[in-house]
Structure 1
Amino acid sequence: MTSIEPMGPVTPAVNEYFETLCEEVAKYPAPPQVRTEHHLHAGVYTRTLYVPAGCVAVGLKLKIETQLICAGHFQITDGTTTREFKGYHVLEGLAGRRAAAYAITDSAFSMCFPTKAKTVEEAEAEFTDEPERLLTRKEKKCQEQLSLEL
């Protein structure tokens, strides 16, 4: 793999682009299940998204530096540049970055960072100012509401 520059902070205009992209993605029928897996071990939080082929995953603005480990065939954009990747890649991200990925084949994206968090919720609040917008938080809220209705 050729070395690429770290994904840098987004400008307000690029952040607005991602918000518009979120609105567009939300207009389509629910895609095949995007699955999230969490690991908290040895002072590292790893959040892996498994994205089925044909789906778009739009990330939130991150307030800390992370590494993004990607596997599959996908396109990823930082809002200004879109690149296509095949195989396994480790990308670096600076604080303030945001990205979206389109999975050409089933793909996985693992974001990692050092943390002192003791729970997934603490780690989520550490990497974004908007943890309530995370898919896992929305899923948890729906599951809690469903159990109350039953």
Structure 2
Amino acid sequence: MKVTYGNGFAMTKPGALLVLKDGEVVFNVPDQSPAAIRAQIRALTSSLLDLPPTEQRDFDVQHTLIDGVYTRTLFIPKGSLLVGKIHLKECVNIVAKGDISVLTETGAGRFQAGHVAVSQPGIQKVGYAHEDTVFINVFRTDETDIEKIEAQVATTEYAEDLICQ
């Protein structure tokens, strides 16, 4: 699976999702409504996928499966901007290392190593790594094939009835 990123991606253009404020990279979300944030995430996703292949990259991912628990560990280099897939199932998110800003349609936050949170179905995350970051998603599954698990837990298309509040 290709995950896309941009290093310092268009932070200076009007309406940019990421901006430099007081020397820090932050998300620019003037309209905090879930529908508006989702539209911004969709626009960013489209922009990143339109980048030439030389400006896209795969991140290192480690898959672990044990006794009905699937973990997906993503290694994100400092300065990377990425958009994840849309979660179809609830999962636990763990920042195991680093410092990352995350935006979902429920809001934005900056999280350091040790942060643990739960994502509901329908959530898509945008991340910006302020430091090299290790981000882990934990899912429950009875499946044992990684490709089948990924199809069960994430998608690239929103189910329109899944707008998180």
Q: Same fold (TM over 0.5)?
A: yes
Letter in 2 for 1:48: T
Aligned-pair identity (%):
26
Q: Aligned in 2, Cα 1:128/1:120: closer, same or farther, shift over 3 Å? A: same
The aligned residue for residue 21 of structure 2 is none
The secondary structure found in structure 1 opposite 2:109 is strand
Equivalent of 1:20 in 15, 33, 43: 43
Give ranges in structure 2 of 5+ residues lacking alignment: 1-32, 158-165
C-alpha deviation, 1:53, in angstroms: 0.4
Equivalent of 2:65 in 19, 25, 40: 40
Cα distance in 1 for residues equivalent to 2:119 and 2:106: 15
C-alpha deviation, 1:81, in angstroms: 2.2
Whether the 8 Å CA contact 1:72–1:87 is kept in 2: the answer is yes
Q: Aligned in 2, Cα 1:80/1:130: closer, same or farther, shift over 3 Å? A: closer
Whether the 8 Å CA contact 1:17–1:79 is kept in 2: the answer is no
Q: Aligned in 2, Cα 1:96/1:33: closer, same or farther, shift over 3 Å? A: closer
The structure with the largest helix share of the pair is 1
Give ranges in structure 1 of 5+ residues lacking alignment: 1-9, 132-150
Say how many residue pairs are matched. 122
Q: Aligned in 2, Cα 1:128/1:12: closer, same or farther, shift over 3 Å? A: farther
The aligned residue for residue 147 of structure 1 is none
User: Which of 1 and 2 has higher RCO (CA within 8 Å, sep 6+)?
Assistant: 1
